[in-house]
A and B are shown apart, each in its own frame.
Chain A
Amino acid sequence: MEIPYTTQPRPDTGIYNAKVGIWLFLASEVMLFGALFSSYILLRVGALPENWPHGLLNIPIGTFNTAVLIISSVTVVMAWASLKMNQFGRFKIYQAITVVCALAFLCIKSFEYHDKFTHYEVWKTDGTRMTGHIEGNPMFLTKPKLVAAGKDKIKFTADPHHYSESKMAGRDHHGEHKHYEIELKDIKRLSAFVPAHSTYFAIYFTLTALHALHVLGGALVIAFLFGPGSKMWHTEPERFTNRVEVAGLFWHFVDLVWIFLFPVLYLL
């Protein structure tokens, strides 16, 4: 006995097996990201306003990345529609654009990450705080690491405003960039904008990294269907079209998550 409804829809449910599977999987993904978004809310509600960074993410880049993903979610549908219209060549083009968009997104995101890894906050023993860059743009420095390296001071270029001053302060790059030499003994804590910096960056990196993993997974599947997997078109066109559809459903979900992530992390 063969497994039925792998390609043809079951008459009473109206869909084929894989489509049921992917919708169920997406339901569980909703719960996964739902739990993280809930955690975001709880952490934010519980945080003191001055400990919840604002405006440190680059909105133009984030917007651009949003646009990249939206374009890819259009092309992923066009790829499927091309197959439905029996235009394999156009399918290839659209599928390729989708993969390129996915890789572009990841590439841009990695630059954003790098920016954060070299951007620091210093909590001084006198109670003042400032954000900025350390000379030489090192990554992941902490006070214990500086102590271990035998340093006794750092050269620090401060941002014009600290994010705790107002909601928009972190976005203001036009003020004066002051240069300081800070003694290590005056530093209570020093952290780059890495997950350990604050609960905000913890949830930011967890959410976006998990999302990036989904982008990567989706890109691999879509690339497979573009490359070696597309041979199936010549033997079982309908089954291949279904595969493209299922991959597309997943891709839409990944895009949708970003549509929520962008305002929540960048704008609010």
Chain B
Amino acid sequence: MQATTHTKPHTGAHEAHHHEPGFWQKYIFSTDHKVIGIQYGFTALAFLLFGFGLMMCMRWQIAHPGQPIPVVGGLLEKVLGEVAKEGKMSPDLYNSFGAMHGTIMVFLAIVPLAFGAFGNYVVPLQIGAPDMAFPRVNMVSYQFYFLGGVVMFVSFFIPGGAAQAGWTSYSPLATTIPTHGQAFWLVGMVLLITSSLLGAVNFIATIIQLRAPGMTWFRLPFFVWAQFVTGFLLLLAFPPLEAAGVMQLMDNLFGTSFFLPTGLAVGGKLADISGGGSPLLWQHLFWFLGHPEVYVLILPAMGIVAEIISNNTRKPIWGYKSLVFSALAIGFISFIVWAHHMYLTGMGTKISAFFQTTTMIISIPSVIILTCLFISLWGGSIRFNTPMLFALAFLPMFGIGGLTGLPLGFAAADLHLHDTYYVIAHFHYVVAPGTIFALFAGIYYWFPKMTGRTMSEFWGRVHFWGSFIFMNVVFQPMFAQGMAGMIRRMADGGANYSTANNPDAIGGLSKGMMGLHTVILWGAVGLAVSQIPFIINLFYSIKNGRKVANDNPWEATTLEWQTPTPPPHGNFAHPPTVHRDPYDYSVPGAAKDFTPQNESEKAGKH
């Protein structure tokens, strides 16, 4: 029965035509989880590119403060006006771009791509479900996301520009900046939070309720577990930020003082407010989301990497249950580590000690997951294709990102490193060469299922090596800069604090440290160029890629490969029944080196 699917030519064509919806219903207002997944994917990739563009402008400004931005400078002046006069980046614009780069990358690019796109497309397929539990809620969830993105994007063009208080939007700064960018930011966030809330409800309900017969909890692929835990993080960690967002919106629009202290002076004048609020309260609420959010970014990536490593080492993932329990442990502990972002706020050493302890504890399950993935490589006959290269690169890159986080988790070491470029390097290693590499891996890996064609292997490798090298050129120097004391979020890249401008200053930034800005800038340019083959490859391959020979080109065991290609509405030709563990590769005595999950014991032996 299903066991032979992988040799069958695709059956998608004659499965799909039983009712043919029109363009709008099929692509725009679709309730099909696969279409919604792809909508999420393309929207998120567009925002990823946009966020990257903001960063490129900022890197130019940092390396060459006050000089007109090449290529896009004129356009910026035309579109944004005064803040980009003569193509130069004003400090206000730098702050806007900085705040929006963070916001867009985290909330509009990575999370929607990791959770919305891959989760939507792959999870129902992997658990053998016909769709999500609530298809219409799923559609609405995407629409809220899209709307949130529009609000964020539009905020660039309002008078005064987009939010300038950083992606963390600390009060009172976020309230005292006299433009409406922050209000747009908050409204956008409320929409985005609503979207991920609906998405999270849907994912969790789907995984609980719609698993195919025989798909027990410990037969779920690790990717599904990762999405399951991610769903709970989004479900429970985001609402406090929604509450905080509403309160900050009240501060900004109705003159309340939730986060504004008594005696606040703005521009040398006592502000006309009641006071009595607490700036620390915002930080607590923000980081109550902010820290679980880190695991929202990384868990789906780990899930993708686990799938790809198992598939390309042709052996079961090492320590499947350790992975699952580690992911669950991360889920729980991530709710009690948030204040390690706040050691320098003066909240007290006792509280710091508590959060320092929990932070060290949460590194244990993360290390277990990474170790399991490393050990999985041992003794495998590894296939080095593009998805595998990205997945392999994820391991040391996430390793660097994770381990450099430990000094930040210690209150004492954090005193020096807090708010420096070291922090930027640390979390970018987790998210950029970490999560984004895993997402690239996922795109190359699942592309054949989504389109029935493969992306070019050669250009995939060009993309990989370019990205791999230039990512490190961009982020490695920042560790050094940070340890030398370079503070983040400075519109002149720290020129004010350099020994070049202040020869007598003690501890000024040396010429070498300032010179690294140029290295990073050209690293970023190289990184941008390396993405061109990917973009062309992605779009070209949709219509012109090499056709896959069968429904299961990677010879994988999980259920998403046991469907027609691309899967029709309703996914499976016959409702699947699951008979075995997710990673039955190279089972001794089996006919082939992979045994799909829906292959029965009998069929496996014959």
Q: A-side interface residues toward B, CB under 8 Å? A: 1-5, 10, 13, 16-18, 20-21, 24-25, 27-29, 31-36, 39, 42-43, 46-48, 51, 144, 189, 191, 194-199, 202-203, 205-206, 210
> Of B208, B209, B258, which is in contact with the most chain A CB atoms at under 10 Å from its CB?
B209
Q: From known contacts A21-B134, A31-B240, infer whether A199 and B256 are also in contact, taking CB-CB under 8 Å.
A: yes
For A17, the chain B residues whose CB sits under 8 A away are 133-134, 205, 209-210
Are B256 and A196 in touch, CB under 8 angstroms?
yes
Contacting pair B210 A3 (CB below 8 A)? yes
Whether A195 lies near B256 (C-beta < 8 A) is: yes
**Bound state CA distance, A219 and B277, in angstroms?**
34
| Given the contacts A39-B281, A43-B281, A196-B273, A32 and B243 also touching, CB distance less than 8 Å | yes
Chain A binding surface, main DSSP class: helix
A28, B197: Cβ atoms under 8 Å? yes
Is A31 a contact of B201 with CB atoms below 8 Å? no
A206 CB contacts on chain B under 8 angstroms: 246-247, 250, 256, 258
B474 at the interface (CB under 8 A from A): no
A-B contact count (CB 8 A): 135
- Please report the C-alpha to C-alpha distance between residue A34 and residue B244 in the assembled complex, in whole angstroms: 11
Chain A residues, Cβ within 8 Å of B278: 42-43, 46
A47, B571: Cβ atoms closer than 8 Å = no
A26 CB to nearest B CB, Å: 10
A210 to chain B, nearest CB (A): 7
List 14 A-B pairs, Cβ < 8 Å: A4-B130, A4-B210, A5-B210, A16-B209, A20-B209, A21-B137, A24-B201, A28-B197, A32-B243, A35-B239, A42-B281, A195-B250, A199-B257, A202-B247
Report the bound CA distance from A199 to B200 in whole Å: 33
- Complex Cα distance, B285 from A31, in Å, reads 11
Q: Are B258 and A28 in contact (CB under 8 A)?
A: no
Against A, the Cβ 8 Å flags (1 = close, 0 = not) of B467-508 are 000000000000000000000000000000000000000000
Selected from A13, A34, A51, A144, the residue in CB contact (under 8 A) with B208 is: A13
With A5-B210, A31-B239 known as contacts, the answer to whether A199 contacts B277 (CB < 8 A) is: yes
B202 touches A21 (CB 8 A): yes
Give every chain B residue within 8 A of A199 (Cβ-Cβ).
Answer: 256-258, 274, 276-277
Give chain B residues whose Cβ lies under 8 Å from the Cβ of A202: 247, 250, 256-258, 274, 277
Enumerate chain B residues within 8 angstroms of A1, measured Cβ to Cβ: 130, 570-572, 575
Which of A18, A39, A48, A197 is most buried by chain B, counting CB atoms within 10 A of its CB? Answer: A39
Q: B130 to A2, Cβ gap below 8 A? A: yes
B571 contacts across to A, CB distance below 8 A: 1
CB pair B240–A32 under 8 Å, yes or no, is: yes
18 more A-B residue pairs beyond the given contacts A4-B209, A13-B208, with a C-beta to C-beta distance below 8 A: A3-B130, A3-B131, A3-B135, A5-B209, A17-B209, A21-B202, A24-B201, A28-B236, A32-B242, A33-B243, A51-B274, A51-B276, A196-B257, A199-B276, A202-B256, A202-B258, A202-B277, A206-B256
With most chain A CB atoms within 10 A of its CB, the pick from B200, B201, B272 is B201
Which residues of chain A come closer than 8 Å to B575, judged between CB atoms? 1
A31 touching B236, Cβ below 8 Å: yes
Cα A197 to Cα B254 in complex, Å, equals 10
Task: Give the residue name and chain of the A residue nearest to B128 (CB).
Answer: A1
CA separation between A36 and B240, bound complex, in Å?
Answer: 8
The digit string for B202-222, where 1 denotes a CB below 8 A from any CB of A, is: 101100111000000000000
Complex contacts, A25 vs chain B, CB 8 Å:
197, 201
**Which residue of A13, A36, A51 is within 8 Å of B243 (Cβ)?**
A36
Q: How far is the CA of A228 from the CA of B258 in the complex (A)?
A: 42
Which of the residues A4, A20, A34, A195 comes within 8 Å of B240, measured between beta carbons? A34
Q: Tell whether B147 is near chain A: CB-to-CB under 8 Å.
A: no
Question: Is B258 a contact of A39 with CB atoms below 8 Å?
Answer: yes
B406 within 8 A of A: no
Q: Annotate B272-305 by CB proximity to A: 1 below 8 A, 0 otherwise.
A: 1110111001001100100000000000000000
Q: Which of B483-539 contact A (CB under 8 A)?
A: none
B255 in the interface, Cβ–Cβ < 8 Å?
A: yes
Nearest-Cβ distance from residue B124 to partner chain A, whole angstroms: 10
When distances are taken between beta carbons in the complex, the residues of chain B under 8 Å from A33 are 243
State which residues 241-265 of B face A: CB under 8 Å. Answer: 242-244, 246-247, 250, 254-258
Q: From the candidates A21, A191, A210, name the one contacting B205 in the complex (CB within 8 A).
A: A21
Q: Is the CB of A28 within 8 A of B288?
A: no
Whether a CB of chain A sits under 8 angstroms from the CB of B235 is yes
Residue B276 contacts which of A20, A32, A47 (CB distance < 8 angstroms)? A47
Closest A residue by C-beta to B129: A3
Q: A3-B131, A17-B209 are in contact. Are A28 and B239 (CB under 8 A)?
A: yes
Cβ-based interface call for B238 (8 A): yes
Chain A's closest residue to B575 (CB) is A1
Contacts of A36 in B (CB 8 A): 243, 247
Given contacts A2-B130, A21-B133, A43-B281, contact A194 B240 (CB under 8 A): no
* B209 engages A28 (CB within 8 Å): no
A205 to B251, CA, bound (A): 12
Docked CA distance A199–B259 (Å): 9
Residues in chain B near residue A24, CB distance under 8 A = 200-201, 204-205, 235
- Rounded to whole angstroms, the CA-CA distance of A95 and B116 in the bound complex is 37
Most A C-beta atoms less than 10 A away, residue of B238, B243, B278? B243
| Cβ-closest chain A residue relative to B203 | A24
Bound-state Cα–Cα, A43 to B276, Å: 7
Q: B270 to chain A: closest CB distance in Å?
A: 11
Chain A residues with Cβ below 8 Å from B285 are 35, 39
Instruction: State whether A32 and B208 are in contact (beta carbons under 8 Å apart), knowing that A43-B278, A46-B278 are contacts in the complex.
Output: no
Closest 4 pairs between A and B when the two form their complex, measured CB to CB: A1-B130, A35-B240, A196-B255, A32-B239
Q: Nearest Cβ distance between residue A90 and chain B, in whole angstroms? A: 30
Enumerate chain B residues within 8 angstroms of A205, measured Cβ to Cβ.
250
- Which of A20, A32, A34, A47 lies in contact with B133, CB distance below 8 A? A20
Residues of B with C-beta under 8 A to A144:
272
Q: Which residues of A contact B204 (CB under 8 A)?
A: 20, 24
CA distance A55 to B292 in the complex (A): 39
B530 to chain A, nearest CB (A): 39
Bound state CA distance, A178 and B294, in angstroms?
Answer: 59
Query: Are B239 and A197 closer than 8 Å at their CB atoms?
Result: no
User: CA separation between A61 and B531, bound complex, in Å?
Assistant: 64
Residues of B within 8 A of A46 (CB): 276, 278
Q: Which residues of A contact B242 (CB under 8 A)?
A: 32, 35
A26 to B572, CA, bound (A): 32
**Residue A20 contacts which of B130, B205, B281, B284 (CB distance < 8 angstroms)?**
B205
CA distance A3 to B205 in the complex (A): 12
Closest to A191 in B: B274
Q: A24's closest neighbor in chain B, by CB?
A: B201
* Mask: chain B, 314-326; 1 = CB below 8 Å from A; 0 = not: 0000000000000
Which residue of chain A has its CB nearest to the CB of B285? Answer: A35
Give the shortest distance, in Å, between B512 (CB) and chain A (any CB). Answer: 46
Residues of B within 8 A of A2 (CB): 130
B133, A3: Cβ atoms closer than 8 Å: yes
B254: which of A5, A18, A47, A196 is its contact (CB, 8 Å)? Answer: A196
Shortest CB–CB separation between residue B246 and chain A, in angstroms?
6
Pick the residue among B200, B244, B254 that contacts A35 (CB under 8 A): B244
B258: nearest chain-A partner, CB-CB = A202
Bound-state Cα–Cα, A107 to B570, Å: 47
